[in-house]
Structures are given as C-alpha cells and as structure tokens.
Structure 1
C-alpha cells in the first residue's frame, strides 16, 4: 500500500465533526463577515482586513473554487460572489464539500443567527445531533424566574429534559472564570448563596465559580460526555487561565464517575492536552479552532497533536460557527495536515500505510462514534 493510497483514503474519509456550531442562517455584509473570521470581538480597524490573515488566505485559496472562483481570488470579488449566491447556496456547497458524515452541533451561542441541528442536517444532507451548553440552560432558567432556593433541584430536572436526545454536554467555564477553580462539588448552601447573589445582580450571565462548579458536577451526574473549551478563544477569556493542565485535580476527581471529558481546541496548549489524554483514560482532546485560524501552518498543529496521546484519545473537530467556509476549511486543513504528517512517516519507513490509514479513521470518525455512542443511534 502506497502513500498515494494513504492520501486517497484520508481525502475520502467521512468525518464526524464532534464539536461544531451551525452555519449562518442569513446573508451578512463584508464588515460582519470579517468580524466572523477572527476571535477578536473588537471592530476590524479601517486600515486592515481580516482577509489578510492565515484564515483569510485559506478562504481565498480553498473556498473560492467551491464557489466557482479561481484560487487566490481578490477578497472583494470573493465577497461579491458570496452576495450573488446567497446564504443557503453557500452553505449547501461548502458543507457538502467538507466530506463530513455527522455533525455534533453545540447550540448555546447566538443560536438565532445560525442553523439549528435540524437545519444543519437539511443543508448538509447528513445527520446532526445536539450538544447542550450547561451555562445556557441555567441562564434560560433565570430568565424564567427560578428562585435561588429551588435552583439546585430544578436545574438537573430541566437539564434531563433538554438533553433527552442530546449526545453530549459542553461547558464554557474557561470563558466565565478559568480553569483555576476549586474542583470540588459545591455544597447546597454554597449553591443557594451564589444563586441568590447572581439572581439579584440583574444579569443572566452566569460567572460565579460556585455556580459554574455546580453546573459541571450536575453535568457529570447526567452521565453524558462533557466538552470543555480549552485554550485559544475570544478576548472574554484570560488565556493563561485556560491551560488544561489547571484541570488536573478536577480530572482526577471526575475519573471514578466514568464520564468522558473532551478538551476542545487546546491551542496553544495542545501538547499539554496530549499529556492529559495519555495520563487519564477518560480524557480526550482535539485541536479544532487552532486549525482553521493557523491556515497554511495548520499542518504543524495537526502533526503536534499526534505526538503524545494514544490515537484512540484524539478527535476531529472544526469548531466552525457562522461562515460555512469554516466548516469546509476545518475538514480540508485537518485532512491536509494528516496527509502531510502520515505520508512523511510512511515514506521514512516509520509507519506502515495501513496503520496510517487506520489511525486517520480513528481520529477522523471512529473515536467520536465510540465516545458519543453514535453507532447505536
């Protein structure tokens, strides 16, 4: 079996995107599009464009042909073509081109602007299941007027209802506080006191560490795989507090519960995540968000993700939100990174081509199907 066979197998591999959000539900203008091509939440300065970035160059190179444009097309011509095709056709083309066979869609962020799991399935022609964000469920409860005294009993009930058909849970504790939290389950008194203070504050945004810990442990009680954003993200985080190594004590406390923890993205701490995935049987990781935003350099990120963790502990994700270019590129750049790394090792005689194909299948689809029990669905 040759490296050409390996490349073909990776290119043709149907992927499970285990952490993704919906594509845009409606058209956006160029300024809005550019804001969606960066993790910054600040306006793009007038003297620059987000198309002059690794992600912007990758879009002009790899997404342009899917929209019937030449590679490296000028950004203005690319945007004009997007406007001509419309949001539905752009999503249809780019989702189909990604080669994804199953989406696990996290629905807790600006859901009114993007396609729901049902709509993603319709647009792509492949299954889409839901991953429920813990913080969003609690914030919905606050809007409904739940009292502090009843919150600790009401939240697990509502979570069970909301996740009846879900395949996993997600927490953004990294955004709302950081990973340097007390890893222990909070006491009922702590939860009530924190809830009382939060509900009196007038904000529905939950950031109290006791409440965030309550959400995590309630999620663990639910028994579904739990995703945790780690590493790189928008300026709402303090990146030095999002190193997954800070979760080590929490990971140890979780281990007896038999619940899998999925560390998402992890860049630039992906080597640290690889250590955790090697050390603890219930820890997995991916490099999703870092792949899209590193563009041509993403091959190095993908190769680094293969250094330490057993291959049964690594998953593929795009973490795409909004522009379907991100859904397409997340898959394309990951495939390219895997082709480059594995072909080099096969050519050097370090790996067999058959083993390389088997590993690509594990990471690209089989591990996710096992962790989220998709084979039984």
Structure 2
C-alpha cells in the first residue's frame, strides 16, 4: 500500500528534536563499566538488579540484538563491549556521530551529578541545530546553597565565625534569605539566557509530586535541618519536602511572572513515573500535579518519560489542560516492544497530536540515544500504520502526527525556530523547508525515489538521461539533495530544443534548427538504477520530455514508444511484450605510430557458442559483466560467444516495451563500464570486421491475444522499408544488409524460424525483428516497429506474403513472386529515408515535425561521416557506439 510506504519513509527519515536528554561521557570514561555500567542503557535498576537480573529482560535481549547489528558482532554483552571499546579507542566521536544520526537538535538537562561527562557545548558538533540547556532547579539550588554557606564562612563580617556552633537561628535566617534571593535571581537569569530553553524538576525523586504550599515556618525549619546536615557531611543534595516544594513553587511563580510581564516564557519539565529505587513510585503519578497545573495556567508543564506506568493519567492531564504536554521518552528502550506500542496508543487515546513530544532521555553512553531513536521510530510506524490501515487516520493526518511528535511540537513549545534539515544520506519524503508541497501529497514517483535511496544509501548523484536522434546518451548530473528537492517540488530540468537537430559533435544541422525554445526533462523514477562497473556513487534515471504546461513534447523517444503501445492496447486490446538480444564486440584500443587510435580484436580464436582457449582466458571479464547486471536486477536469460572475433551475445528478459528498452540502455552502459575496467572497448558498431559476422540488436516482440497476429505482421511487412530509417539509421548499418550472413537478408520477407528474413516468426504472436542495430535509438526503433504493426491492426490488413523458410537470396525471381516477396530491402540509408518520406501514416504516428528533424539529423550525420577516411570513421564510430 503506497500510503503505508509513504508513512514509513517519513517516520524513518524525518529529523527529530530530542526534547530531554543528558550529557555523554568523555572518551576516557566511556568504557568505565564499573562506574557506568553498560547494562544501564536499558534499565534504571542498580546493583545486582541491574548487572545480574535486568539482563534477562525482554528489553535487554532485544537491545543486544540491535546493538549487535550496530557493531556487526555477536549478540552478547561481552562481544558488544569489546567492539565498542575498540571504536571508542579508535574514534569516539565517530561513535557519537553514528548514534546521533537523524537528530537535529538536543535539549540537555546537564544537571546529572557526574564529573566524567562532556559539557553541553561539546555536543554541538554532532547535530545540525545547536544544543540547548535544560536547567535542573534542584541542582541549581544545591549549588547555590553550598556557595551561600561557604561564602558565609569566609565573610569577614562574619555570619559564621566558629563553624557549626555559630549556626544560630538569626544566622540561619540570613542564610535562608540569601539562598532564596540567589535562587530567584538564578531562575530569572536562566529565563533570560538564550541557551536555556526549559527548566526541569526532579522533585519526583526527592519528595514526590504531591507538591504543597508550605508555611514560612515549615520552609525555614526544613532549611535549618538541611543546612546543618549539609554542613556536617558536605552533601548539599536537597531532600526535604517543604524545601523541595518551595523550589518548585518559586520557579513556577517566576516563570508565570515572566509570561505575565513579557508574554513569553519557558516551560518546566517534571520527571514522572519510571525511575530507580530512589523514587517513591506511588508519588511519581502525575495526577498529583493537577492542582499545580490548574493554579499556574500561565506555565507550560511537560510530563516526562511517558509517566510510565501512569501514562493514562498523564494523557488525561495533557488532554484536559492547554498548558500540559506529554513526553513519550525513556520507555524506549527500557520496556518491551509491546509495552512501547501500548504506551504510544495510550498517549494517543486522549492527547492531541500537537501536545506529544519525543525524547530519548539519552545519557552517558551514546547507544542510549541510538537505541531509543531506533525503537521509537519502529513503534511509531507500527502504531500509526495500524491506525492508517484501519482508516482512523488519513495519510495527511498520520504524517502530520509523526512530524509533530518527532519535531514540530518541541520546535514550537521551546521556541527553537528550527526548520527540519534532512541529511543527504537519509531518505525523506518531507519537503525542503521552502517547499509548499505537503508531505502527504506524495506521488508514486516520490515513493519510487525514496524506496530506491533507502535501499541504496551510498548514492550521492543522479544522472538524468535521455537519448537523442543520433542514439547518443546525454545526461545532466545532480547531487542527490538537489534531485530530491526537484522531485518533491515538481521542478524539471530545462534542455534546449536544438537537441532535436544536434549531431554527436554538438553541431546543429537542418534548414530550421530550434535554436530558441526548450523542453523540460521529467524524471521517470521507476527507472532509477545504480551505476555499477564504474567508480561513481551515482545512479541513472530516464526522462520524459514535456512542454512548459506539462504536456508531452513531440520527439521524446520514450513518450513516442509509450504512446504507440498504449494505442495498441486501448484501440485494439493488444498487449505487447518486448525483449532484446545485446550483441557486442569486445576490442582492444591500439595507439598507432602516427598517434591515431585503432581498435583491434580482443580474441582471434573465436567461434559461435564455442569455448576456445582465448574465451576461457577472458571469462573473468564476461562473468563480471553478468554479475554486475545481476547486481542491479538485470538477470540474463543466457549469454554466449557469437561468430565475430570478441563478439558475445547477452539475452535480456522480456518486459513491456518501455521497461525493456530502459533495461537495454542500462545493460549496455553496464557492459561498457565493466569492459573498461578490464581494458576493453565494448562496441555496438555493426561491422567491425569486413570478413566476419556483423553485430545487430535483435528485437523480440510478442502480442496478446494472438488472434490479430496476421494484421500486426502485415503492418510490419508493409512499412518495413520506412521503419529501417529508425532501425538502420546510419550508412554503417547497411554494411550488414548483405545476403548469406545471417543478418536478415535483403528482401522484405518473413519466415518460420528463418534467420535470413528480416522478420522471423518464432511462434504464434511472437516475432524476432532482425533488422535493427546498436546505432539506432532503441526507443524510436521499437516505436516505429510497433507503429507499423498498429497500422496493420488499424487497417485490418491481411498479409499476402507467404512464409519463406529459406535464404531469400537463393530464390529465383519466380520463386520469390510465388511467395509474394516483391520488395527489396533498401541497401543504403537514402533508400530508407526515401521510403519513410513516402509513408505518411508512419510519420503521423512518430510525429510530423519530429520526423522531419530526425531525417535532417540523419542526412547531416551521413554527410559528416562521409567526409572522414574509412579507418578514421570506423574508429570514430567504435569509440561512440
């Protein structure tokens, strides 16, 4: 289902904003498993519960398998550690980069008490967007309390002269006043700090989410107890409920005041649900925050970590209060696949898609980011695809939901002002930020592109190809990022119309070349194919030619072929299959004494379907060609040596005519590329050696149903001389039109299995058209053949010619007459062109203006080539075809 594919691609490739994460360890500490157990990437447990028991959980086992894929090792903890240790030693930043692929921006709570982490600016180098801070209010408070206390000890004025003994009530009151002032000032400073995007409270760990408004006496008493204890043991962690409640309430008042005064402010995140043994699970239920959410309606609350196992309670709050948001992080990868999908479904039960945020809660080990992002994208795709499949979502709604959760909601809530930046190597169907194309308006072509790029991530460039009237393959090369943008925004590549009158040398010919004007190349994404056998991270795509308004441009070879195939089907119910035999001669380049280039045989001990000593020696080259073709899903029917020195035949599988011809072009290019790697020139030149067999490009056509085969055959015979202008397009083509060399003969005729007639009937409704070679534009050649058959169908022709099952050259005039073989094949190009000019019906189908220009090109090309000496012309053509 195309819609499901579109959604899958979006989720897999859309950049994300990680709205809650933590600092990574430095390279020196990343392998310190005694201090930072690697098992913690999938569990909040500690001690024996972490190292011995958590390893038996489903979440742990799943993570091992995924990490084993990441490190390309066995799925055991020891093997994974060994592999990661090596990468950490070799290139720790590469590991971090890989783990953060797809992340555009990190919002870091840098309040974890760890001395071995990198500071938050260090993380900037790994994401397109800048890393921002989340201020943990309890950490700030502890640092301020310590600094206030230590400053008082050193104050000459002194509050504290004799240590703890002087911590009298008046002294404590002054310390309390200083602390409150410093804390309020710090929160206000953070509100004004552009690097800070949010606040966070871990009161859930300290005293629970049941925040109350303590009295002044309760607050002071808690502070007194706290500071005395801290002064004694040096631990300034705040863990007294009235004091913790005060910190939260003070922060909320400051945030609300900023909103009232300036109209803008910053959210506050609350750890809810899942945690380690330091947490009171019952008091981690976000339902306890309902009163605060109501009271501080000007403050945006973010309920972190899916509030698991209280996801539904959090969802209720986020759905009921406009200032409440639900973060769905941390449970990835802490829970099983089923749990993750269940959590997402529970989140979507009530919560608007515009209020769900994504985060990894990544910390210490880079793999925490990678695992969380990977598993979240998988779960999100599974859940949204299910709703799309069931009709609960339309594609636009599903893609909007994914984009909002991954990126847009955090971007909006935290005022990040980011536009999604899509890495070149990742497939995406989301438009460039400047695009007006909605992600849901994806076409099948876009799906083809993303499917191809997903399967071929190494591709960096796209070659947009077309074949001109001289059968020269021309192209424009685009970086993949530009090509993707072009496809998504439905842009096209402009080509001068003069190409219709251009020779291989780029010289225009004819009385009226189209110097002014253009047509537009539109890529046919179904033809995308990697370039193999060549040192290039590129792929080719064939194109259709269009006018400015998007209508077909006359003369487009692929459009011409597609149109005539469609006419056969729509008007006569005839479906057509097409297949090609590729004949090539492999030659070696030789530089002569005068500097000229000559091409000499690759093999001399050579014969048809034989395995000579030279052929055996050359098998690695031939078999590499077959492997390269298979690598791009061109699977040959068979291949073998042909008669001429160095000549081989490769038989392609049948398909619809347009696809078959696209495959032919790609196969030829691949053969040439691989041959070059082996120091060879693979040429389609029709007659490289005057005393040996020539080289053709035989076409196999079959029609279904076969009930109209006589009419189709009659049309091909009736228009054969004119068709030769397209299938035998150069003077060199007629070097093969000789009797007795298995090249199709010299008379317009057909036969049952007869290779000395231009049309060989193989069985009912299937023929081999032998009179085509590699100098022809194959799209035009096949289009002209089918056009001839179409005219037979249209006129309901009946062939008067009988089957000839011998070499027509051996027949006497009376024997030919008895078979109604009366028309000789043109022996020169001028004869075929003359026949074409006298065939208005064929011209009409191929295009009047196009045909006129095509003839101009062929005559101009003939004149150019005739001015060359024979040897020079031969080398010139071998080098180009």
Q: Structure 2 length as normaliser, TM-score?
A: 0.40
Please give the per-residue CA displacement for 1:298-348, whole angstroms capped at 9, x wherever unaligned.
Answer: 222222221111111111111111111111111111111111011111112
Matches within 5 A, 1:9-158: 9-25=10-26, 26-31=29-34, 32-44=37-49, 48=52, 50-67=54-71, 69-70=72-73, 73-86=75-88, 87-96=92-101, 99-124=102-127, 126-146=129-149, 147-158=175-186
Matches within 5 A, 1:279-294: 279-294=320-335
Worse-superposed segment, 110-119 or 203-212? 110-119
CA contact (8 A) 1:288 1:318 kept: yes
Q: Select the residue among 402, 406, 431 that pairs with 1:364.
A: 406
Alpha carbon RMSD of aligned pairs, Å? 2.1
CA contact (8 A) 1:263 1:284 kept: yes
CA contact (8 A) 1:59 1:325 kept: no
SS of structure 1 residue aligned to 2:382: helix
Please give the per-residue CA displacement for 1:186-212, whole angstroms capped at 9, x wherever unaligned.
Answer: 455544343222111223111222221
* More relative contact order, 1 or 2 (CA 8 Å, 6+ apart): 1
CA contact (8 A) 2:41 2:367 kept: no
Worse-superposed segment, 199-208 or 165-174? 199-208
SS of structure 1 residue aligned to 2:249: helix
Could you tell me how far apart the structure 1 residues matched to 2:413 and 2:365 are?
28
CA contact (8 A) 1:291 1:334 kept: yes
Gaps of 5+ in 2: 150-174, 256-264, 420-881
| Structure 1 residue 264 corresponds to structure 2 residue 304 | yes
| Structure 1 residue 334 corresponds to structure 2 residue 376 | yes
Please give the per-residue CA displacement for 1:132-170, whole angstroms capped at 9, x wherever unaligned.
Answer: 000001100122134223111121112333552300000
Could you tell me how far apart the structure 2 residues matched to 1:89 and 1:49 are?
32
Q: Select the residue among 173, 176, 179 that pairs with 2:209.
A: 179
How far did residue 8 of structure 1 move? Answer: 0.2
Could you tell me how far apart the structure 2 residues matched to 1:92 and 1:49 are?
31
How far did residue 64 of structure 1 move? Answer: 2.9
Question: Whose radius of gyration is greater, 1 or 2?
Answer: 2
How far did residue 113 of structure 1 move? Answer: 2.6
Could you tell me how far apart the structure 1 residues matched to 2:86 and 2:336 are?
26
SS of structure 2 residue aligned to 1:284: strand
Task: Choose between structure 1 and 2: higher strand proportion.
Answer: 2
SS of structure 1 residue aligned to 2:361: coil
Could you tell me how far apart the structure 2 residues matched to 1:325 and 1:103 are?
15
CA contact (8 A) 2:286 2:314 kept: yes
CA contact (8 A) 2:44 2:50 kept: no
Please give the per-residue CA displacement for 1:78-113, whole angstroms capped at 9, x wherever unaligned.
Answer: 1110111114332222122xx111110001112423
How far did residue 45 of structure 1 move? Answer: 7.3
How far did residue 2 of structure 1 move? Answer: 1.0
SS of structure 2 residue aligned to 1:359: helix
CA contact (8 A) 1:107 1:131 kept: yes
Query: Paired residue for 1:325?
Result: 367
CA contact (8 A) 1:261 1:284 kept: yes
Could you tell me how far apart the structure 1 residues matched to 2:237 and 2:268 are?
21
Please give the per-residue CA displacement for 1:189-248, whole angstroms capped at 9, x wherever unaligned.
Answer: 544343222111223111222221221122221342000000010100010111111111
Task: Summarize the Cα distance change of 1:33–1:180 in structure 2 as closer, same or farther, 3 Å threshold.
Answer: same
| Structure 1 residue 192 corresponds to structure 2 residue 234 | no
CA contact (8 A) 1:289 1:319 kept: yes
CA contact (8 A) 2:148 2:179 kept: no
Task: Choose between structure 1 and 2: higher helix proportion.
Answer: 1
Task: Summarize the Cα distance change of 1:371–1:13 in structure 2 as closer, same or farther, 3 Å threshold.
Answer: same
Query: Paired residue for 1:301?
Result: 343
How far did residue 30 of structure 1 move? Answer: 4.6
CA contact (8 A) 1:264 1:286 kept: yes
Could you tell me how far apart the structure 2 residues matched to 1:110 and 1:122 are?
23
How many matched pairs?
368
Worse-superposed segment, 205-214 or 167-176? 205-214
CA contact (8 A) 2:315 2:346 kept: no
Could you tell me how far apart the structure 2 residues matched to 1:45 and 1:16 are?
29
Could you tell me how far apart the structure 1 residues matched to 2:372 and 2:9 are?
18
How far did residue 361 of structure 1 move? Answer: 0.8
SS of structure 2 residue aligned to 1:132: strand
Please give the per-residue CA displacement for 1:233-267, whole angstroms capped at 9, x wherever unaligned.
Answer: 01000101111111111211111xx1100000100
